[in-house]
Amino acid sequence: MEIQINFIVTSINYFINYKLNHLSLQLLSLLLGFFISTALSTIPAQTGDWGIIAAAIIVTNQEIVSKIIYQTKINSYYKSILIVKILLKYCNNIKIGILYGLFVDAFKLGS
């Protein structure tokens, strides 16, 4: 009985210390992506002539990050390196935040 209780306590400690910390960092990276998309969609739009260049930079960045994350050769190589795997997850979350932010901005402009 004592072994089971110790296992439950260590499992809860692991969840609290690692999983919640990891979840909060993932949410922060999503919000950082949302903030970056808001900055990228409002600052170059002040002059009006930087819209196409900003869109090209955003699309290029999104495609490069997607290629790095979803490529199978690189993904299988980096699975052994934990820090690189975590950083790739955060980069992917920032990318998702940027796409979500641009999507929300498009709805704001459309209404």
User: Residue 97 — pLDDT band, cuts 50, 70, 90?
Assistant: very high
What pLDDT, on a 0 to 100 scale, did the predictor assign at position 34? 92
| C-alpha span between 73 and 63 (Å, rounded) | 17
What pLDDT, on a 0 to 100 scale, did the predictor assign at position 94? 92
To the question of pTM greater than 0.75 for the whole model, the response is no
Q: How far is CA 74 from CA 18, 59, 68, 94, in A?
A: 26, 21, 7, 19
First to last CA, the chain: 61
The string of pLDDT tens digits covering residues 37-90 is 888 877 776 666 777 777 788 889 888 888 888 876 766 666 667 677 778 888
What pLDDT, on a 0 to 100 scale, did the predictor assign at position 20? 66
How many residues does this entry show for the chain? 111
